[in-house]
Amino acid sequence: MNAERVQLFALIGLRALAEYDPFEYKRCTELSKRQLEDNIQRLIERSGDDEARKKFEDLKTIETELENAGEFSFLLKQIYVSSLQKAQQLSLTFFRRKDREGESKFLVAKYTKEEDRGIPSVSEHDDLLRLSVTLLIRKIKGYKPLFHYRWKSEEIDCLLEPFETDLPFIVMESKSWLRSDSQIEMTVDQLSKYRRFWGKKALGIIVTKGIGTKSHFQPGNIAKNIFLLIYDPENNVFVADNFEKLLTAIRLNRNARWHTGHDK
């Protein structure tokens, strides 16, 4: 297994998303569908991956032959979800193997040629973010994740947008490791700036795989309306049970008035 397979399945998932949810697709990438397909075909030819080739052929068959809208949407969603799950599984396996070998802890595809620019890389950071957000919204419920949300000239790792208007917005930043208190403090300052845009009662969450052994910070409520969560991607759990305080904060802030994100 190598990083190209991770890239390949992630791109197939994006191509399915382009048909299944065009709006969300445009939020994820600036690549056109034609560019995606060219990159997918090039990676399939280079890797000779039969599983990915079959998945991509299934996607094209669904697009060209199905006329029932309900079945079309259902099958595209299955392709999208299964492809991203495969990419996540491969990347986590690759990361753990590399970690044991003492090599880089980041999955960064080494595309340096001009022809390969524009292929989105799949990194440890992306896995940590998406896996932890998926678990989080299953626990707190009532939220839609907006990954890589553009705010002014900056990019927020994830904005959790509530389905109900009386729930607080939640802004999230993920850090693979927080090795020093100064790094934690900088992230707290960053989140504090972001969340003020959605009102004083908006919440901030920092998710990480671990903090430095000499850190003065502990998982939980580390600043006003800001929470630090430790996530174990191998077992898909939050290591410390910080959710009671987080859920309490959501309940306390439930009836506050919110900015919608378009008020300024």
Residues 71, 168 within the same domain: no
> Using an 8 Å Cβ cutoff, are 210 and 234 in contact?
no
Q: Is residue 185 part of a domain?
A: yes
Task: List pLDDT tens digits, range 101-151.
Answer: 433 333 232 223 333 333 333 445 677 888 888 888 888 888 888 888 887
Where among 66, 101, 121 does a domain terminate? 121
Percent of the chain with pLDDT over 90: 6
**Across residues 157-165, what is the average pLDDT?**
88
Q: Same domain for 165 and 195?
A: yes
Whether 184 contacts 196, CB under 8 Å? no
How high is the pLDDT of residue 254?
Answer: 65
- 73 domain-assigned: yes
Residue 88 structural domain? 3-121
Query: Number of structural domains, the chain?
Result: 2
Residue 264 maps to a domain: no
For the stretch 138-158, pLDDT in tens is 888 888 888 888 877 788 889
d(CA 191, CA 196): 9
Residues 8 and 65 in one domain: yes
Residues sharing a CB contact under 8 Å with residue 39, sequence separation 6 or more, in sequence order: 11, 31, 116, 118, 119
143 and 217, same domain (yes or no): yes
Buried b (16+ CB within 10 A) or exposed e, 109-145: bebeeeeeeebbbbbbbbbbbbbbbebbbeebeebeb
Pick the last residue of a domain from 121, 139, 170: 121
pLDDT reported for residue 171: 94
Q: pTM score > 0.75 for this model?
A: no
- Residue labelled with tokens 């850190």: 215
